[in-house]
Amino acid sequence: MTQRIDPEVLRVELRYYIDNASDTELEELYAFINPQTPRYEWWNDNVFVDELERRYADLKSSKDKGVSWEE
């Protein structure tokens, strides 16, 4: 059974996290907390998709050896 954390301890830790989070982390946290925030649609992010395609091509061509689940 999971032990409950004191709410005051959670507040302190969350304040620390928020105070030290990057802009991107803050946006992600806010989107998680506020479900009305539009979802990030990675498939419409051309920079991200291009990076995925580059990495896939590198793995397929053996330019990048990759890492197995065991490693």
When pLDDT is cut at 50, 70 and 90, the band that residue 39 belongs to is confident
Burial class (CB in 10 A: 0-12, 13-18, 19+), 67: exposed
> How far is residue 8's CA from residue 14's CA, in Å, rounded to a whole number?
10
Residue with tokens 């991107």: 24
> Does the pLDDT of residue 68 top 90, yes or no?
no
Query: Mean pLDDT throughout 24-41?
Result: 85
Please report, rounded to a whole number, the percentage of residues in the chain having pLDDT higher than 70. 97
